[in-house]
Amino acid sequence: MALLETRGLTIRFGGNLAVSEVDLAVEAGAVTGLIGPNGAGKTTTFNMICGVLAPTSGQVILDGRDVSRLGTHKRARLGIGRTFQRIEVFSSMTVRENVQVGCEIRQGWGRTTAPGPQLLAPKGAELTAADEVDLILDRLGLTEHAEVRAGQLSTGRARLVELGRALAIRPRVLLLDEPASGLDDTETEEFGLLLRQLADAGLSILMVEHDVPLVMKVCAQIFVLDFGRIIASGTAADIQQNEAVLNAYLGSAK
Amino acid sequence: MQSFLNFTVVGIALAAVYAIAASGLVVTYTTSGIFNFAHGAVGMIAAFLYWQVSAPTVSGGWGWPVWLSLIFVIFVAAPIFGALLERVIIRGLEGATEVVKIVVTVSLLLALVGMSQWIWPGNITRAIPRLFPEVDDRITIGDVRVPYDRIVILVAAIIVALVLRVVLYKSRAGIAMRAVVDDRNLVRLNGARPARISMLSWAMGASLAALAGVLNAPFSNVDAITMTLVVINCYAAAVVGKLKSLPLTFLGALVLGLGEAYAGSYLDSTVKIGGYSVDGVKFALPAIMLFAVMVAQPQARLRAGGVQRVRETWRVPTMRTAVIGAVVLVGSVWGITELIELDAERGPLVTGLFFALVALSLVPLTGYAGQISLAPMTFVGIGAIVMAQIGKDGSTPGAVIVALAVCAVVGALVALPALRLSGIYLALATAAFSLMMSKVVFSQPKLVSGGTIAVPPLDLGVFVPRTNQQQALLLAVSFALLGMFVVWMRNGSWGRRLIAMKDSPVACATLGLDLTRTKIGVFALSASIAGLAGALANRSMPTTDYDLLASMSLTTLAVVGGIGAIGGALFGGFLLGTVQGLIPALFRDNTIGIFRFVQVAVTDLVKVLPGFMGISLGRNPSGAVGQIGDAYRAVGESKEATGLSVFGVVALWVLAKSDTIGNWTFVATMIVLLFAILPLLPILISPLPGRRALPAGVVLVVGLVAVGAIDWGTAIESTGVRVMMMFLATAVISGAATAVHGALPSDAPVEPSPDLLGVDRPITKSDVMEADRMLGLHESDLARSIAGGS
Amino acid sequence: MNGDDTPLLQLEGIRASYDAIEVLHGVDLAVPVGKVVALLGPNGAGKTTTLNVACGIVEPRAGKVVVAGRDVTGVAPEELARRGVITIPEGRGIFPNLTVRENLQMATFAGRPLAEIEELAYRQFPRLGERRGQLVGTMSGGEQQMLAMARGLASNPAILLLDELSMGLAPLVVEELYGIVAQIAATGVSILVVEQFARTVLGIADLAAIMVHGVIRTVGTPEEVEDELSAAYLGGGE
């Protein structure tokens, strides 16, 4: 069964149906892609999943539990982490502090919710908060920028900081909104490897990304959103063959 | 029944005034995004101006006819004033944080109230006659008599509603005003000029405030504060319309007006509950309504729109700096009080420290978490009451603890409804809370007898502050300890969380942080610190010490001082203490006679000073202490400079203490030392090549000795002029030394050339990034150009 | 105008940054008189920023913006609009809380009287005429984009800057819109089109420029750049 599901997710802004009847399924321990042209409603869908926007109708199901009525912070405590399309780093803090705050907030969740293990660490490793911050910085290649103010980073690096911060809360599902935009080719490749490794360790990832080769490479399952609706879903091979996707994504040839 | 209908007539007329005022507020808010706290003050100034032009010459007016006065005030003076406000003050606020936006218009309110008290002092009664003064000027419907002037008000409100409708929906300028709300940039791409549109909307807003002020004046005391507050009530009406919808705003005004009229008439003022009068409740109705509306609003949506870069910058304080600062503060306070022989003359120092302690309460709340309170002095009042009630015949340390707890709980309760909403609502809620407390609680004879709270001294057994010196030391130690606590907290996980919340609330929520709880926590902490200040006040406090205007002054000056740092709170507190205590004392009989052309009584100037300081914030949102800190940071970084300055200060103090030099000479030499020598010291010690450090140093020393040689205590009779001459001498010395040295200090930030990186300090990673950026290198470009050959 | 070789719009060595981060690293681009230039490239390449520099919203850190031979660097967008540089920004250039008619009334700031604008707009897009009193926010995406186009068209442009007309629209609507762009071009208006969906615009463009990572990589006729498109979009390829 899928770890994260949306059922009939729909939102209307004024007269515009921004997202309509979207059903997504994110399998445990896999990378799932959500692609589509600009303005198709991908970020809006993310906002509904993590509770920043309230859908007009539809449900968000995490591990069999309907979380549609919970606030953003409660969903985070249940294991939904995310990054943002438009950078939301803590710009007045250093890179290290950004990740550290993530750890500290998680430690402050209280007894009601127990977060999972740190997926970047070897299984069963005991981590202090400081170790965990160092580990995350190291694995994301941020160690040498640790003392730089996040507000001064390039877009690509700021995205990595957001990813590190999200990993600090040890999520079960991670929503990544265009994580590779701003990274160069080498960095993108490393990033792809990192995603694979996280998935192998058991993390479910739902990723919105415009770098189509990356998506094709790392995603087991891909959903294509156009005009607020799912127009196709399947493996990379299925999607590449799909005429509707080509038309939607690259525009109709004249 | 007849009286009910009569009350209804009164209520509707009141509602009409509120509706007119509130619609002006909504028009300016929607088009500029700035909530004008000074809206009421604009109405008040308009009413005074109306009195000025229309009153008969015998009573000091200019005797213009009523019709001309009305046209002049409402259609000429007010719109010009509104447009000027937009041009000079509001336009500069684009991109500023919510806190700065709020503080600037609050300052405007303070400045306008101060100006009106200055121009139209309260020594004569100014009555504005009703438009139809005769008893027969009314129509009678059945048993209900409706005076003409109430009808005029109602008609005015209807006309305003119609005109606004036509202007906003039919005229191109009005359509552009609404378009600005949707998308400012797109308005520009259409070829319209948003700057002009904003000026127009502020002109309209000021005109509406003036109309409301003038119409209401005959029914109210012609007094700056009363009239300002009447229009403040319209905030509640505007909130009903979510600060956007004009029809809902009119509805809110109707409910408010009728409610007030009925409450004023039917609430039995003799009823007491447990010895407490409920009479004040009728005045608190707008505040109660404001809270009720806020509770009913749905939670504000989190916005994921990318983080905004703000203009303020702060350094994270270290514990080491905090401890040194604490020791220096307590030591300086002791040193200064030792030099002042008359205990009464130590009073201004106590006042400054007291305000500094209150300002400290805003550091975690406003400086770290980015939330604002317009009620810090209200919590001071609550703390004072608790101390007075429990402490007068019981244990005062126990009373302090109770005061802390009560303020924390009350603070949390007040903040709860507002924290779910955006910053402007918290400012409104705290302002409403402040008004409500003044009307309902601080007016209870049982709690505040004779209009003052007698706060007993803190009795610690071994230490009871009986003199000003002891009180100053108590406050200094309290500030030092709390300051260290706040710094410790800032460096801990909770402090980081507050900063994170200010930087990006939506990111915090997605990390699992409960925003509302965190905000309530910091608000409770802030309220406790303010309450502590009240509990430690150790004097009789009149109600004006903790009313809304007192809170507004404090918040303004705290933010001016620089609320992101402990030093800023100290500075802000002393600014307020100096403005309210020291300057009037020093300049008691002085006017600032600038060559006797313009004579301004200093006491009048003091009234408008806090306001103008706050308005200046629009240009430098980090507050003063950031700049001051930058000037002195180099001193702290150089061991030699630090040593020399400590030696200088101690040496001068010893000279003064041993009566080798007079106290005034001590003050003069300290001013020279602090403002001329210290900022220059670092560049003199490690000289830049090609500069004349030694001659400049000689100039400074000669200057210091020359100033020290003057017996300032007798040389100039007037203390005010004396102080001004000291600063003048300092400026001359500083200027001469700088000129001799050859380096002109420039406060304009110079973009450092990448060639100079690493010359003055080791290269860091961020320097390299910065250099890359300046040279236009992009890592991926580099990578590509290397790999691009294939 | 001094000869055919003076481009209507010319960007020279434009560098632009948001805060500390530079996003355009020296962009040179020219739109010849009466031509349609397509500015293509993947997301985040800096296309929209380039357009924002051209219309005056973003002030460049270095470089010049020249319109019809005159240096207009640093001139406010409203002044440019009044001189015929008409922009339809990304994500619907409309005011959602105004009616269709009020939106068109906003276009009168650029000079033409309302009656003429309305006539032009409703003739080109009869559907807008039927809905002149409707709040634009309640209309469909395609209708909103038509309104934005109508405004651009009716403002009497010398040059039209179009940003991602196709965003979030059904292919049929996009085709219709670009058909209109071609019509406008035929009347001699110079046009700069920013578009992510390259194939949609290549058909109507005289010239195409491919932008990657804040620089223009190639300029040429649609046929010339076709081969490089996939490399630019799908990364690698070099």
Quick one: pLDDT at residue A77? Answer: 92
Residue recorded with tokens 């919970």: A70
The total domain count for chain A is 2
Could you tell me if C47 and C138 lie in one domain? no
- The partner residue sitting opposite B185, judged by closest CB among C26, C57, C215, is C57
Q: State the nearest Cα–Cα gap between C139 and chain B, in angstroms.
A: 16
Judge whether residue B747 has pLDDT over 60: no
In contact, A203 and A26? CB cutoff 8 Å = no
Quick one: pLDDT at residue B211? Answer: 95
Residue recorded with tokens 């127990």: A114
The last residue of one of the domains, among A121, A146, A171, is A171
- The partner residue sitting opposite A148, judged by closest CB among B302, B509, B766, is B766
Suggest the residue from B510, B513, B516, B784 to mutate for an interface test with chain A (most A CBs closer than 10 A): B510
Q: Read off the pLDDT band of C191 (50, 70, 90).
A: very high
Quick one: pLDDT at residue B621? Answer: 63
What's the helix, strand, coil split of chain C in %, to 5? Answer: 40, 25, 35
Q: Could you tell me the residue ranges of all domains in chain B?
A: 2-120+141-263, 319-627, 638-741, 754-787
In contact, A24 and A39? CB cutoff 8 Å = no
Report the b/e string of B305-332 with b at 16+ CB within 10 A: eebeebebebebbeeebbeebbeebbee
Percent of chain A predicted with pLDDT > 90: 45
- Using one digit for the tens of pLDDT, what is the confidence trace for B149-183? 888 899 999 999 999 999 988 899 999 998 888 88
Quick one: pLDDT at residue A249? Answer: 58
Say which CATH number the domain at A54 has: 3.40.50.300
Judge whether residue B486 has pLDDT over 90: yes
Q: Which tops the pLDDT comparison, B304 or B81?
A: B81
Q: Which tops the pLDDT comparison, A33 or C234?
A: A33
Which residues of chain B are within 8 Å of residue A102 when distances are taken between CB atoms? 511
Identify the three-state secondary structure at position A177.
strand
Judge whether residue B695 has pLDDT over 80: yes
Could you tell me if C151 and C112 lie in one domain? yes
Minimal-distance CA residue of chain C relative to A248: C171
Which amino acid is residue C188, in one-letter code?
A: G
Judge whether residue B465 has pLDDT over 70: yes
Q: Read off the pLDDT band of B765 (50, 70, 90).
A: very low
Give me the domain span that covers residue A12.
1-79+172-254
Suggest the residue from A73, A97, A188 to mutate for an interface test with chain B (most B CBs closer than 10 A): A73
Quick one: pLDDT at residue B690? Answer: 61
In contact, B119 and B98? CB cutoff 8 Å = no
- Using one digit for the tens of pLDDT, what is the confidence trace for A228-252? 889 889 988 888 787 777 666 555 4
Quick one: pLDDT at residue B656? Answer: 85
- Using one digit for the tens of pLDDT, what is the confidence trace for B242-252? 888 889 999 99
Q: State the nearest Cα–Cα gap between B424 and chain C, in angstroms.
A: 23
Quick one: pLDDT at residue B691? Answer: 67
CATH architecture of B319-627: Orthogonal Bundle (1.10)
- The partner residue sitting opposite C95, judged by closest CB among B179, B770, B773, is B179
Quick one: pLDDT at residue B603? Answer: 62
Q: Hey, are the CB atoms on C81 and B193 less than 8 Å from each other?
A: no
Could you tell me if C80 and C2 lie in one domain? yes
Judge whether residue B746 has pLDDT over 80: no
Which residues of chain A are within 8 Å of residue C168 when distances are taken between CB atoms? 37-41, 227-228
The two counts, helices (H) then strands (E), for chain A are: 9, 10
Could you tell me if A139 and A197 lie in one domain? no
Q: State the DSSP code for A220.
A: S
Q: Which tops the pLDDT comparison, A149 or B381?
A: B381
A161 phi/psi in degrees, rounded to 5: -60, -40
Helix H or strand E encompassing C145: helix C141-154
Judge whether residue B16 has pLDDT over 50: yes
Query: Among B161, B35, B48, which residue's Cα sits nearest to residue B104?
Result: B35
What is the Cα C66 distance to its own chain's centre? 16
Interface check for A92 against chain C (CB to CB < 8 A): the answer is: no
Quick one: pLDDT at residue B309? Answer: 52
Q: Hey, are the CB atoms on B780 and A97 less than 8 Å from each other?
A: no
Return the HEC string of A28-95.
CCCEEEEECCCCCCHHHHHHHHHCCCCCCEEEEEECCEECCCCCHHHHHHHCEEECCCCCCCCCCCEH
Which residues of chain A are within 8 Å of residue C91 when distances are taken between CB atoms? 39
Judge whether residue B678 has pLDDT over 90: no
Could you tell me if A2 and A73 lie in one domain? yes
Quick one: pLDDT at residue C19? Answer: 64
Size of interface B-C (CB pairs under 8 A): 93
Judge whether residue A126 has pLDDT over 80: no
Q: State the nearest Cα–Cα gap between A26 and chain B, in angstroms.
A: 19
Could you tell me if A254 and A206 lie in one domain? yes
Return the HEC string of B568-617.
HHHHHHHHHHHHHHHHHHHCCCCEEEECCCEEEEHHHHHHHHHHHHHHHC
In contact, C122 and B206? CB cutoff 8 Å = no
Interface check for A14 against chain C (CB to CB < 8 A): the answer is: yes
Q: State the nearest Cα–Cα gap between A86 and chain B, in angstroms.
A: 4
Question: Which tokens belong to B387?
Answer: 């101390």
Q: Which tops the pLDDT comparison, A1 or B704?
A: B704
Q: Hey, are the CB atoms on A92 and B314 less than 8 Å from each other?
A: yes
Mean residue pLDDT across chain B: 82
Judge whether residue B399 has pLDDT over 80: yes
Percent of chain B predicted with pLDDT > 70: 85
Q: Which tops the pLDDT comparison, B2 or C113?
A: C113
Can you point out the beta strands (E) in B698-790?
none
User: What mean pLDDT comes out for the span C83-103?
Assistant: 88
Which residues of chain C are within 8 Å of residue A38 when distances are taken between CB atoms? 43, 164, 167-168, 196
Give me the domain span that covers residue C102.
93-156
Question: Which tokens belong to A83?
Answer: 């990054």
Quick one: pLDDT at residue A167? Answer: 93
Q: Hey, are the CB atoms on B193 and C111 less than 8 Å from each other?
A: no
- Using one digit for the tens of pLDDT, what is the confidence trace for C169-182? 777 778 888 888 88
Angle of the B98-119 helix axis to the B423-436 helix axis, nearest 10: 40
Could you tell me if C52 and C125 lie in one domain? no
Could you tell me if A33 and A91 lie in one domain? no
- CA separation for the pair B719, B736 (Å, rounded): 26
Cβ contacts of C191 within 8 Å, gap of 6 or more? C31, C35, C36, C37, C159, C160, C161, C162, C181, C184, C185
Q: State the DSSP code for B129.
A: P
Judge whether residue C228 has pLDDT over 70: yes
Could you tell me if C222 and C110 lie in one domain? no
Long-range contacts from B542-547, C-beta under 8 angstroms, 24+ separation: B542/B451, B542/B452, B543/B381, B543/B438, B543/B442, B543/B443, B543/B448, B543/B451, B543/B452, B545/B377, B545/B380, B545/B381, B546/B377, B546/B378, B546/B380, B546/B381, B546/B384, B546/B438, B546/B442, B547/B377, B547/B434, B547/B438, B547/B442
User: What mean pLDDT comes out for the span A15-29?
Assistant: 87
Burial of B511 (0-12, 13-18, 19+ CB in 10 A): buried
The last residue of one of the domains, among A145, A171, A197, is A171
Could you tell me if C44 and C7 lie in one domain? yes
Say which CATH number the domain at C217 has: 3.40.50.300
Quick one: pLDDT at residue B302? Answer: 67
Minimal-distance CA residue of chain A relative to B495: A101
The last residue of one of the domains, among C115, C141, C156, is C156
Which residues of chain A are within 8 Å of residue B512 when distances are taken between CB atoms? 73-74, 76-77, 105-106, 109, 113, 169
What's the sign of the alpha-carbon dihedral B616, B619, B621, B627?
negative
What is the Cα B781 distance to its own chain's centre? 49
Could you tell me if A117 and A4 lie in one domain? no
Judge whether residue C215 has pLDDT over 80: yes
- Using one digit for the tens of pLDDT, what is the confidence trace for B566-589? 888 898 888 888 777 666 666 655
Q: Which tops the pLDDT comparison, B117 or B606?
A: B117
Judge whether residue B772 has pLDDT over 70: no
Which residues of chain A are within 8 Å of residue C200 when distances are taken between CB atoms? 251-252, 254
Interface check for C127 against chain B (CB to CB < 8 A): the answer is: no
Could you tell me if A167 and A91 lie in one domain? yes
Suggest the residue from A62, A87, A90, A161 to mutate for an interface test with chain B (most B CBs closer than 10 A): A90
User: What mean pLDDT comes out for the span B389-406?
Assistant: 89
Mean residue pLDDT across chain A: 86
Quick one: pLDDT at residue B687? Answer: 59
- Using one digit for the tens of pLDDT, what is the confidence trace for B494-545? 999 999 998 888 999 999 999 889 999 999 999 999 999 999 999 999 988 8
- CA separation for the pair B580, B357 (Å, rounded): 16
Interface check for B499 against chain A (CB to CB < 8 A): the answer is: yes
Question: Which tokens belong to C73?
Answer: 């660097």
Identify the three-state secondary structure at position C18.
strand
In angstroms, the Cα distances linking C54 to B462, C28, C66 are: 75, 11, 9
Judge whether residue A23 has pLDDT over 90: yes
Could you tell me if A4 and A124 lie in one domain? no
- The partner residue sitting opposite A15, judged by closest CB among C42, C43, C140, is C140
Quick one: pLDDT at residue B160? Answer: 93
Report the b/e string of B12-30 with b at 16+ CB within 10 A: bbbbbbbbbbbbbbbbbbb
Q: Hey, are the CB atoms on A93 and B500 less than 8 Å from each other?
A: yes
Quick one: pLDDT at residue B311? Answer: 46
Could you tell me if C59 and C129 lie in one domain? no
Percent of chain B predicted with pLDDT > 90: 29
Could you tell me if C171 and C207 lie in one domain? yes
Q: State the nearest Cα–Cα gap between B27 and chain C, in angstroms.
A: 15
The last residue of one of the domains, among A147, A171, A195, is A171
The last residue of one of the domains, among C156, C185, C200, is C156
User: What mean pLDDT comes out for the span A48-64?
Assistant: 92
Could you tell me if C57 and C38 lie in one domain? yes
Q: Which tops the pLDDT comparison, B420 or C136?
A: C136
In angstroms, the Cα distances linking C79 to B142, C88, C108 are: 62, 16, 14
Q: Which tops the pLDDT comparison, B227 or B404?
A: B404
Quick one: pLDDT at residue B53? Answer: 93
Q: Hey, are the CB atoms on B497 and A72 less than 8 Å from each other?
A: no
- Using one digit for the tens of pLDDT, what is the confidence trace for A131-187? 999 999 998 989 999 998 888 888 888 999 999 999 999 999 999 998 887 777 788
Hey, which chains touch B, using 3+ CB pairs under 8 Å? A, C
Q: State the nearest Cα–Cα gap between C26 and chain B, in angstroms.
A: 9
Question: Which tokens belong to A80?
Answer: 């939904």
Q: Which tops the pLDDT comparison, B424 or B156?
A: B156
Query: Among A90, A80, A88, A41, which residue's Cα sits nearest to residue A175?
Result: A80
- Beta strand C207-212 with C62-67 is unpaired
Question: Left if phi > 0, otherwise alpha if psi is -120 to 50, otherwise beta: which for A184?
Answer: beta
Quick one: pLDDT at residue A96? Answer: 94
The last residue of one of the domains, among C130, C156, C182, is C156
Q: Hey, are the CB atoms on C95 and B189 less than 8 Å from each other?
A: no
Quick one: pLDDT at residue B608? Answer: 72
Judge whether residue B343 has pLDDT over 90: no
Query: Among A50, A61, A82, which residue's Cα sits nearest to residue A8?
Result: A61
Question: Which tokens belong to B507?
Answer: 């990111």
The total domain count for chain C is 2
